[in-house]
Structure 1
Amino acid sequence: MLLNLLRSRLRQNPPGFYVVLYTEMWELFGRFGITALLVLYLTHTFNIADSHAFSVYSTFMALIFGTPIVGGYLADRYFGSRVAIILGASLMTIGNALMVLPAPDVVYIGLAIVTVGYGLFLPSLPPLLSAMYKNNEHKRDAGFTFYYLGKNVGALLAPIACGFVGEHFGWNYAFILSSVGMASGLLVFILGQKHLQAFFRMPSATGQVTPHKRFKSKTLVYGLLACMVPVCYVMLYKNLDTSLMVVSFAVVLLMMARLLIKGTQAERKNLLLILIGIIGVIVFEAMLNMGGTTLNLFIQRIIDRKVMGTTIPTSAFYALDPIFMLIIGPFLATLWVNLSKQKRSPLVTDKFALGMAMLGLGFLIFVFAAKSALVHGHASPFFVVVAYFVFPMGELCMVPISLALVTKLAPRGKETLLVSIWMLSNAVAGFLTGVLSKYGQISFKLDSQAAIFKACHIYETLFLNSAIALFAFAGIFVVSRNVVRRYLLNNEELNP
């Protein structure tokens, strides 16, 4: 049944969809390779403390979603989506290759180059995908959901493949896979451009310009890109995640305020709904990203990873989320299409509420895992399997839906900018992940039963508070649905 459903969905998308999907799949492979291994790499190879590793992780997460503000502007104004994607993918390939060298400074340089690549790459793909559904609006949610679950093949493969290489050959060698994979995605994108010509956005700074002015503008633009690498390096090296968060949050507010002031009445209503989605994404992603920090270390330290005499690598558990996403996603995408055809599609606030509640339920399962470890010394991996089955249900109700909302309701000509603002909200979430994770840091050795019990209490408290916060936000979205329906948009627009 699942295969038939997948085949049916595959036939409903244009050929260019699969070029974009394949390219994005390898981007996500590289991203999940880094997020699954970075904290483990830093704490094991360089003996970095939990708190410091969390700061590097949160700074990296903030940067990959913060740099798209600059990258999105450059893509809209100077590069166009085609050049921005090619240049961004090239930088990510180089950055991952540099991280193979096991020296902290080189790792930070590699991470910095990767973040600049993300700045160009990430905001340029969603508008390209959105253009494919311009005349098929009723398929937009399903298309974005299928795209989101399809690219998670990369997220599935990365923790397993990179984890295996890291465990057996050294953590640094795992990044070779990320570099080769991204190079593969770049090659397919270049060869498949013929399917995307109708959807590429041209740069706005075109027209009658002299060769001298063209050379001057190109020099300034590429100079700005070159300067971004050392800036990102310093932020990673100095752990400037707090400063980055303040700047990111301020930029989000200022840019949204500017768009609200200059927009028409209809555009302001659309932007307010987008803002609601952005707030939801910040809260949701801040909690979800703990999968690469506190949850990763909880699994490594507290979960009994021995199954039939074999120890499962910690990073392998990170693959459970995309595995279940690939199973659940086709059914959910089909559900959105069927409900839309029947004019029964839930409001976006209903979908957001469901997403928050499911993630809260997942954290509640981790609470029970910590309680179990207090009794037995270790917890069964069954808790992780169940929690990571619930997580993607929430993710599919939140992340692709909010991104589809942005691409549909963004003012004309501002699509890439609004996607960049959406990405920047993930930067704020990345910082908050670091803040929250530090409440679960373990600054002592787990060399006794008493130490393990103390760690379990710390983890239990963090997971319980996270679950309570998520359930509270789910309640807020449920309560706000009537306000959204009455004051912002009509029913048709509320179902992006």
Structure 2
Amino acid sequence: MNQAIETSAAPDYPQLLGHPRPLWMLFMTEFWERFAFYSVSWALALYIVAQFFHGDPSGQAWASGIFGAYTALIYGTGIFGGWVADKLIGYQRTILLGAAVMAAGLFTLMLPQRTMLLLGLALVIVGDGLFKPNISSMVGQLYARDDERRDRGFTLFYMGINAGAFVAPLFTGWLASYFTDTPMEQNYRVVFLAAGVGMLLSLLWFWFGRRQLKGVGRPAPGAESRLRVLWVLLGVIVAVPAVYYLLSSVGPGGLQWLLGLLFVAVAAMLLVEAARHDRVQTHRVLAMLIIFAFNVLFWMFYYQLGTSFNFLAENLVDRKMFGGWVFPVGWFQSVSPLAIIVLAPLVTLVWAWLSKRRCEPSIPRKFGLGLIFNALGFAVLVYALARLLSSAGLIPFWPLAMCYVMQTVGELCLSPIGLSMVTKLAPPRLVGVAMGGWFMSLAVGGNLSGLVASRISGVSGMTAASALSGFTFSFWLLAGAGLLLLLISPLINKLMHGVR
């Protein structure tokens, strides 16, 4: 079964709760992968400052740069993972190989040397590059192209992502705080251990559940040889040192140029393939690429959650609660996924209700709303830093929590819709590459987020003044981009030729 057939007509799956049964297997596979990913995400920058700078705030800038580069490469390598699945070994084998490599990297992070930190991150990056775009692409292959349940299926899948993201900081944060008689950098290594176990569970879940897929995601005819898997594994062995070099020597600035060139290359591949079809497919790819550009801006500021928001919570937020209990920094990372778990079903129902009345916002309008809600989150922080700063130099607890909730509303307008958009607008033979292009836009935004956070922290660490300045800039750029996208939405809708 080739890719074009898979995306236009899906197998007749047994249904569970109104969706193909394999959706729920993919849901849990993604749950455990996201548990592993977000365990590392909340702890990484804090661990770097604690372990390698002995808690000195001057380490915030380097930690932010590493976090941004790590986030960027996690998503940037997705284009290669999509190509491996499309052209070499199929989706199922690519996912399994990526899960194994990622698990090895997570366990490597436990070793307390800077070299091992970067090697572990390199393994995680390469493994997740193989895993992440292909698990998302397989969700699209469960539905026919014109199946009206597709967007709702992606939103449910997105709840799996955020269920893992919600549990990870709470559980691993508790694990770290439980070992209270050890230095904090050791506590963070317990977090990495739990992440590795979570990734092994993801691997096992997909290994035993893949029979439900009825052949979807298997290698194409003529590509079944296991020798191809060996060649891909050799490619992984080459890729890991290359990624290590990018983390250790190239730095976020040089990486931004590389990511930009890769993004242009992906765009060119998609446009060339679209031109082989017809004018309609070319227009659809152009619409997709325009939305990708706005997607960069959303994630450039959203990913402050792993850097500047963490440093804000640690140093500038009053976290004292009832009875003298102090709210853990890492637990802020669970606010957004909790809000998504609560709000995602409501948003799904709203889109369905509006769809029945033929007034559901189009894809570009949803993206514009996403950018504006992200901007409103920063507006809350700007207000708090300008008006609510105490004599002790701290802002209240609620503005940062409210910022996460506002960003979550924006994320629900944008991210699950983006995954579905790619499967609807991409050329049928390059759905995996197009999904890699989607994650490439996240990569560019992720790396820029590290550069922004490094600028906010400066050489001596974040202050209330530097945070106010940086977050004010963030608000205006996001709000302006959101309004612009709403204004040009009719043009983008025309390019999409009826896809909504």
- TM, length-normalised to structure 1: 0.90
Q: Which residue of 2 aligns with 1:298?
A: 312
Q: Which runs of 4+ in 1 moved over 6 A?
A: none
CA distance, structure 1, for counterparts of residue 22 and residue 44 of structure 2: 33
Equivalent residue, structure 2, for 1:149: 159
| Residue 451 of structure 1: aligned partner | none
User: Given the alignment of the two structures, is residue 272 of structure 1 paired with residue 272 of structure 2, yes or no?
Assistant: no
Counterparts of residues 36-435 of structure 1 (less than 5 Å): 36-47=42-53, 49-134=59-144, 137-169=147-179, 170-203=187-220, 206=223, 215=227, 219-238=230-249, 240-262=251-273, 263=275, 264-308=278-322, 309-372=324-387, 374-376=389-391, 377-435=393-451
- Counterpart code for 1:202: P
- Contact 2:266–2:433 (8 Å) recurs in 1: no
What's the CA shift for 1:482?
A: 2.2
Report the residue type matching 1:98 in the other structure. T
5+ residue gaps, structure 1, are 1-8, 446-453
Do the aligned partners of residues 301 and 481 (structure 1) sit closer, same or farther apart at CA in structure 2, a change above 3 Å counting?
A: same
Relative to structure 1, is the Cα distance of residues 10 and 276 closer, same or farther in structure 2, using a 3 angstrom cutoff?
farther
Over residues 336-356 of structure 1, what are the superposed CA-to-partner deviations in whole Å (9 max), with x where a residue is unaligned? Answer: 222223322211121011101
CA distance in 2, matches of 1:312, 1:337: 38
Cα distance in 2, alignment partners of residues 344 and 479 from structure 1: 17
Cα distance in structure 2, aligned partners of 1:335 and 1:202: 38
Distance 1:243 1:203 in 2: 37
**From 461, 464, 470, the counterpart of 2:469:** 461
Aligned AA (2:128): Y
How far residue 135 of structure 1 moved from its aligned partner, in angstroms, is 6.0
Q: Does 2:495 match 1:488?
A: yes
Shift of 1:249: 1.3
Residues 245 and 431, structure 1, Cα contact 8 Å, conserved in 2: yes
Structure 1 489/151 Cα, relative in aligned 2: closer, same or farther at 3 Å? closer
One-letter amino acid matched to 1:282: V
Query: CA distance change for structure 1 residues 279 and 135 in 2, over 3 Å: closer, same or farther?
Result: closer
Deviates more, 1:460-469 or 1:333-342: 333-342
Instruction: Give unmatched runs, 5+ long, in structure 2.
Output: 1-14, 180-186
Instruction: Compute the displacement of 1:239 (Å).
Output: 5.1
Separation of aligned partners in 2, 1:423 and 1:322: 19
Displacement of 1:373: 5.0
Offset, 1:259: 2.7
Distance 1:329 1:38 in 2: 28
Sort the Cα spacing of 1:40 and 1:55 in 2 relative to 1 into closer, same or farther, 3 A.
same
CA distance in 2, matches of 1:68, 1:331: 30
The letter for the 1-side match of 2:235 is: L
Once the two structures are superposed, residues 154-195 of structure 1 have per-residue CA deviations (whole angstroms, 9 ceiling, x without a partner) of 100111112222334311111111111111121111111121
Distance 1:374 1:31 in 2: 33
| CA shift for structure 1 position 140 | 1.4
Letter in 2 for 1:275: L
Deviation at 1:221, TM superposition (A): 3.0
Tell me what 1:450 maps to: none
Report if aligned partners of 2:284, 2:425 keep a CA contact under 8 Å in 1. Answer: yes
| TM-score normalised per structure 2 | 0.90
Q: In structure 2, what is the Cα distance between the partners aligned to 1:295 and 1:422?
A: 25
Q: 1:457-478 deviations in whole A, cap 9, x for unaligned? A: 1101111110111110111111
Q: Secondary structure at the match of 1:240?
A: helix
CA distance 1:227–1:204, change in 2 (3 Å): farther
Q: Deviations over 1:426-467 (max 9, x none)?
A: 11111111111122105337xxxxxxxx91111011111101
CA–CA separation in structure 2 for the residues paired with 1:10 and 1:276: 36
In 2, the alpha carbon distance for the partners of 1:225 and 1:318 equals: 31
**Aligned-residue offset at 1:334:** 1.5
Q: Structure 1 pair 371/335, CA: closer, same or farther in 2 (3 Å)?
A: same
- State which drifts further: 331-340 or 390-399: 331-340
Contact 1:143 1:333 in 2 (8 A): no
Q: Which amino acid aligns with 1:121?
A: F
CA distance in structure 2 between the partners assigned to 1:328 and 1:239 by the alignment: 40
* 1:34 CA drift (Å): 1.2
Partner of 2:460, secondary structure, is coil
Whether 1:12 aligns to 2:29 is no
CA–CA distance in structure 2, aligned partners of residues 378 and 365 of structure 1: 15
Deviation sequence 1:14-36 (CA, Å, 0-9, x none): 21001101011111111111111
Q: Deviations over 1:189-217 (max 9, x none)?
A: 1111121124225247638xxx8xx85x5
| Stretch of structure 1 that moved more, 402-411 or 190-199 | 190-199
- Is 1:28 equivalent to 2:34 in the alignment? yes
SS of aligned partner of 1:306: coil
Shift in CA distance, 90/330, structure 1 to aligned 2, threshold 3 Å: same
Amino acid in the other structure paired with 1:489: M
Q: Distance in 1 between matches of 2:496 and 2:119?
A: 46
